[in-house]
Amino acid sequence: MATALSRLALLQPRTLDEALRVLRDEGPLVPLAGCTDVYVGLHFGSALGPRFLDLQGLRKLRGIRVRGDVIVIGALTTYADLVASPLVRRRLPILAEASRWVGSPQIQNRGTLGGNVANASPAGDTLPVLAVAQATVLLRSVDGARRVPFDAFYTGYRQTVMRPDELIVAIEVPPVEGRQWFRKVGTRAAQAISKVVMAAVRAPAPRVALGSVAPTVVRVPLTEALLARAAPIEEAQQALVAEIQPIDDLRSTAAYRRRVAANLLARFWAETA
């Protein structure tokens, strides 16, 4: 009997090399990690399918390790893994914090960091964290590896520099100096997509990134420059609302998002003083 699933194909490689070969030779294929975003697409008929590459067999892509002074987070590492990691909680507490606010325990158990990054939603909660942490996205294809600075990974709304024959294999995070700060504003505590999400680091040159206020996650360089030279916070707030481009949508209004973003900036500055 034909069902809605009959037209879908699932390839299940056992190793990364096999996955990359299949991706090059048998594409186009949609990689599947925790499937929490893909499933929603399937449900609403907007999935990129119908042929999928299941990454769950690639065990080496899951886990957190240290290389030199860099934290290397495998693409298949889940939010629950990040919350449970003493290393992440010590070195990048805002990533554990962001993960704790994602969806619900069910989503945190399945959803992966690589999936959040690859999905390229401007509302992805880990993206502002990775932006202020100056992370690097490690991509692999049959041709080899390449490292893309997080700031250069997104090219537009849901667009990235990743090629169809590439996979994200890890996110690399260098040491982060300065106090870290994260806040997500949604309709409620769980299962809420961000209306505004901000991550920031209070270093001598402060870094601030926001989600849900532009087509991609954004850093705000003019605001950062004002903070760096200790301009009055009101001046930095004015710069911030001019630097972001929020929209009215079903979750919020542009005016509300601007107001909240400005308030969050003042909170960050006061709480990390």
Ligand X SMILES: Cc1cc2nc3c(=O)[nH]c(=O)nc-3n(C[C@H](O)[C@H](O)[C@H](O)COP(=O)(O)OP(=O)(O)OC[C@H]3O[C@@H](n4cnc5c(N)ncnc54)[C@H](O)[C@@H]3O)c2cc1C
Q: List the structure tokens of 250.
A: 């079903």
Closest CA to 194 of 122, 246, 264, 123: 123
Figure out which of the listed residues 81, 97, 125, 165 binds ligand X, where binding follows CB under 6 A: 125
C-alpha–C-alpha distance, residues 75 and 18, integer Å = 17
Paired tokens of 140? 């692999």
Residue selected from 77, 85, 99, 116 as contacting ligand X according to rule CB under 6 A: 116
Structure tokens at 249: 């949508």
E-strand ranges in 203-257 read 207-211, 218-219
| Contacts to ligand X from residues 151-210, by CB under 6 A | 167-168, 191
Closest contact distance (angstroms) between CB of 151 and ligand X is 19
Nearer to ligand X, 197 or 236 (CB): 197
Q: Which of 19, 20, 71, 114 is the binder for ligand X (CB under 6 A)?
A: 114
CA dist 189 → 122, 125, 193 (Å): 19, 13, 10
Residue nearest to ligand X (CB): 115
Nearest distance in Å: CB 53, ligand X: 8
In 10 A of CB 46, how many CB atoms?
9
CB of 123 to ligand X, least distance (A): 6
Q: Which stretch binds ligand X (CB under 6 A): 3-11, 119-127, 151-159, 253-261?
A: 119-127
Helix (H) or strand (E) holding 196: strand 196-202
Which of these ranges, 37-45, 174-182, 202-210, 229-237, lies near ligand X under the rule CB under 6 A?
Answer: 37-45
Member of 83, 115, 220, 243 binding ligand X (CB under 6 A): 115
H or E segment to which residue 261 belongs: helix 254-271
Write out the two tokens for 82: 């990040």
Backbone angles phi, psi at 154, to 5 degrees: -100, 135
Judged by beta carbon, residue 209 or residue 241, the one nearer ligand X is 209
Q: How far is the CB of 242 from ligand X (least distance, A)?
A: 26
Q: How far is the CB of 271 from ligand X (least distance, A)?
A: 22
Which two three-digit tokens encode residue 245? 């481009």
When asked if residue 111 is in the footprint of ligand X (CB under 6 A), the reply is: yes
Contact set with ligand X (CB under 6 A): 30-38, 40, 55, 75, 102-103, 107, 110-112, 114-116, 118-119, 124-125, 167-168, 191
